[in-house]
Structure 1
């Protein structure tokens, strides 16, 4: 393997990392893939090509998300980075094949299609890991991507790919024809237009103004409980509850509408859903809420559901000694002073930590999920309520639990039924003081833009904050510090084009991907269906 190609492979991975949140060099994303385009054109040996492409994505994954291995089982992070780099290589292998059979412009279009299809699949299957969706590169620059309300992150992915392809072709033509600087400047208008037009559109795109009469006061509690040494230790649940109540009472008053506690704040050892009203934690919370009669509390909780004979039994269900079946859930619950408790079950689960992918086909793997405290093994995915309703204030909250906030289309889908306020509850302390929790916060800004909703974000160890519909962050709390703060958010009605219509960019890419695959299959049996025919 020639050194220049290897250096280019490593360079591409490093540029991707330098342009990724929370590094400050975002514009580099527009040239990050150009070394790969050169490698795709020059390297003919398939195995060498695969090694170079895989090397690029391995560098990017390790440099940007090495922290996934910052747990009690570091090998899980090694596997995650390698596996994701392998999956990212597949669209580029398909592109290499398209270069041999299709005209160059069509092959470049195929690359965009293949990558968008990969990202779409990577958000919908059980090995999902959409952390490094190319459209997330602009999380630090919300002013550049106000147009995401029309396309979602897939529009950003398309933007990145188009810019890289056009810049590479300007460089290639300049090198091939020995252009002068004046000639290069005449050629550069195409990539400049592709990069500049979305920026101009963004400058003239903004959310509709909030209704001042709809302002809603929330109190967000960041208890800063160590998830490894304290959170799930036996006998500590009531002590943790005492801390949460104490912090809440410092800020909550008669004007408070929502009190927000983080992921798994309640019942760290699990509680049966049919017995929640009788849990001492719930009774203590209701005593507190009587002093704030207009308030509702939204909290993370570890809950368990016992199935009866008429229930559909999912593949994640476990069996008690008496033969009855039950499931464990990473849940969010809404409590008020009545006996009504609304329960939402987290659906987008972290592969390996909360979910053994495709456990219904591999039932013997049920107990393999990493033990991050509390209940080990795969969590259930049976849906609970879709929204937390508050008829008195005409507020419908979509409670988003941790990893779910990385899924663009999933969140948009749950806005559509009528959610006018987003609450993200999370526990980012598992990966320590790394880029993990900082990237997670920044991605929430994109979700605010796509849906044009206010977000109240509550994190166990930080960073808790509120985010407005333009992606601006307010009152971010220091990481790994106990905190409580009061903020105003505004429930908003009306859906963005993206929420109404879904991810049209990815759906179109999926259709074209199928057509390219059909063409590739047919061309193996029809010799005439080759490059020359397509050129005609």
Structure 2
């Protein structure tokens, strides 16, 4: 393991250097896995025992370096509670992804034993896609490190995401890395020149053809003219002071005054960030809430406008109507708390969307149904269980003139297929409201902005982004950031965006690539389990 560990570490470093928000090193993704593949090959070809364990341990170390280097900022969101709590909790996102990645490599080794290098490498791509799809689907979801996200700073290269989503990028990266590895292995193994030439040709074609298609699409893409005036507000209120030292009405005054600074008669949407209204609002009596009234009163000067704002809301039930509902002080009464987006108009109509992609641990209890037997214990100790409630599917807010907006709250913006479902239901632009101040001035806020470019390309929709402390921005249908604010400054920006009602192939079909890849991965895992009953073929 010792002589292969430097190769795994090299892979981890290359992938970290290539990862957003750095735009000039993305090309390293095309070779970043090569040292890791060479390390696994060395182990497979060696005469040492326990090769599977060696492969798992070696690859885990490399992937751990990549993940920690890329999402180190997760710690910043928790450090306020103290290192004794923050460090163990942050080890979950730091370690869980690498564990799943290393498992995919271990499965590759097991498949390799029964088939050969070619089929094994093909299986590795399926296992990897299966891991990525699992990691965006289960209760411990954290798809931040999905490999296709790595092109977020070089969006000109992946305009074809409107057909494949980010998983097309995953396959592209793995295909090029495997070909580069086979070329190097061919030199080391003295393969015939014809074989190496074919591999080099395949590598060049796989690199050049998607890249050429993307650049051609990027420079020839033209938006249909269908303007709508949108304003994004950045109040720059310290997230640790939102629910304490600054009165709620004063926070709303800040956002109202910023909105008025650039508002015009034809403004159709105002965007305020996540939890812009930090006081809990009863959804069943929302029109009587003083802060709701304050926000609605502001709209009187803009008759045709809709305000999309984040807010904390709750709802009472006469029984435990949902799995996340908790008992209140009143006997027989339960309540759900929500991180919500509110669509407010001049009329009495209010549109409410409940955040559905919740942050594991911070906003949701992972595997809540399986751990439901623990709820009485938490309740007896005085704690809430299940944290936030959610709604089962996407929402679309419609303005009085019929414009559809996709309300996306923070973490949700990294789910391509989820955003696409809202677009398929009628959203003509994407409204991201977030509060990235928890991460402080780290690359987390920049990555979050960069990932929004991918949603613009997949759906061919403008993205309007209101972030409490930054970075607020407008992103066009090609993924270009047309306007953006500075970090930790109070600001407001406006833009005439072009609405779009056309449906892309990806919006129509969703995550068909990872679904197919996951099915193949499950079949191959079954083969790996059943395979030992049969005579193993020699490793190529």
Same fold (TM over 0.5): yes
2:234 paired residue among 218, 222, 226: 222
C-alpha contact 1:366 1:378 (8 A) present in aligned 2: no
Offset of 1:147 from its aligned partner?
A: 0.4
C-alpha contact 1:345 1:383 (8 A) present in aligned 2: no
Are 1:69 and 2:75 counterparts?
A: yes
CA deviation profile, 1:31-56 (whole Å, cap 9, x unmatched): 11111111211215332222111101
Separation in structure 2 between the aligned mates of residue 103 and residue 41 of structure 1, nearest angstrom: 12
Offset of 1:185 from its aligned partner?
A: 6.8
Consecutive aligned runs of 4 or more in structure 1 exceeding 4 Å deviation = 182-187, 364-369
Are 1:197 and 2:209 counterparts?
A: yes
Separation in structure 1 between the aligned mates of residue 376 and residue 444 of structure 2, nearest angstrom: 26
Equivalent residue for 1:94?
107
Shift of the 521–79 alpha-carbon distance from structure 1 to 2, 3 Å rule, reads closer
Offset of 1:431 from its aligned partner?
A: 0.9
CA deviation profile, 1:402-428 (whole Å, cap 9, x unmatched): 000011111112211111111000000
1:340 paired residue among 335, 349, 355: 349
C-alpha contact 1:222 1:262 (8 A) present in aligned 2: yes
Separation in structure 1 between the aligned mates of residue 431 and residue 173 of structure 2, nearest angstrom: 30
CA deviation profile, 1:471-510 (whole Å, cap 9, x unmatched): 0001110000000111111210111001111122112112
Offset of 1:514 from its aligned partner?
A: 2.4
Shift of the 202–406 alpha-carbon distance from structure 1 to 2, 3 Å rule, reads same
Are 1:521 and 2:529 counterparts?
A: yes
Equivalent residue for 2:6?
7
Q: What residue ranges of structure 2 are gaps of 5+ in the alignment?
A: 45-50, 379-383
1:57 paired residue among 35, 40, 63: 63
Moved more, 43-52 or 195-204: 43-52
CA deviation profile, 1:240-263 (whole Å, cap 9, x unmatched): 111111111111121110010000
Separation in structure 2 between the aligned mates of residue 352 and residue 250 of structure 1, nearest angstrom: 39
Offset of 1:517 from its aligned partner?
A: 2.2
Shift of the 365–299 alpha-carbon distance from structure 1 to 2, 3 Å rule, reads farther
Tell me how large the CA RMSD over aligned residues is.
2.3
C-alpha contact 1:144 1:203 (8 A) present in aligned 2: yes
C-alpha contact 2:57 2:102 (8 A) present in aligned 1: no
C-alpha contact 2:368 2:386 (8 A) present in aligned 1: no
CA deviation profile, 1:264-299 (whole Å, cap 9, x unmatched): 001x23111112111111212222111111111000
C-alpha contact 1:343 1:384 (8 A) present in aligned 2: no
Separation in structure 2 between the aligned mates of residue 385 and residue 69 of structure 1, nearest angstrom: 29
C-alpha contact 2:356 2:393 (8 A) present in aligned 1: no
Equivalent residue for 2:363?
354
Equivalent residue for 1:328?
337
C-alpha contact 1:359 1:365 (8 A) present in aligned 2: no
Are 1:261 and 2:272 counterparts?
A: yes
Separation in structure 2 between the aligned mates of residue 421 and residue 349 of structure 1, nearest angstrom: 22
The two structures have a TM-score, normalised by structure 1, of: 0.92
Separation in structure 2 between the aligned mates of residue 517 and residue 496 of structure 1, nearest angstrom: 33
Separation in structure 2 between the aligned mates of residue 482 and residue 511 of structure 1, nearest angstrom: 48
Separation in structure 2 between the aligned mates of residue 490 and residue 29 of structure 1, nearest angstrom: 33
Shift of the 365–432 alpha-carbon distance from structure 1 to 2, 3 Å rule, reads farther
Equivalent residue for 2:381?
none
C-alpha contact 1:342 1:385 (8 A) present in aligned 2: no
CA deviation profile, 1:409-460 (whole Å, cap 9, x unmatched): 1111221111111100000000100010000000000010001001101100
The two structures have a TM-score, normalised by structure 2, of: 0.91
Separation in structure 2 between the aligned mates of residue 368 and residue 235 of structure 1, nearest angstrom: 35
Equivalent residue for 1:27?
27
CA deviation profile, 1:178-201 (whole Å, cap 9, x unmatched): 899x99677522211111111011
C-alpha contact 2:107 2:525 (8 A) present in aligned 1: no
Number of matched pairs: 519
Equivalent residue for 1:398?
406
Are 1:115 and 2:128 counterparts?
A: yes
Partner of 2:526: helix, strand, or coil?
Answer: helix
2:164 paired residue among 148, 151, 154: 151
Separation in structure 2 between the aligned mates of residue 220 and residue 152 of structure 1, nearest angstrom: 27
Equivalent residue for 1:249?
260
CA deviation profile, 1:330-351 (whole Å, cap 9, x unmatched): 1000001111110000000111
Separation in structure 2 between the aligned mates of residue 394 and residue 174 of structure 1, nearest angstrom: 62
C-alpha contact 2:269 2:305 (8 A) present in aligned 1: yes
Are 1:240 and 2:259 counterparts?
A: no
User: 1:304-453 maps to which residues of 2 (within 5 A)?
Assistant: 304-308=314-318, 313-322=321-330, 323-363=332-372, 378-383=387-392, 386-390=395-399, 392-453=400-461
Equivalent residue for 2:48?
none
Q: What residue ranges of structure 1 are gaps of 5+ in the alignment?
A: 370-374
1:274 paired residue among 257, 271, 284: 284
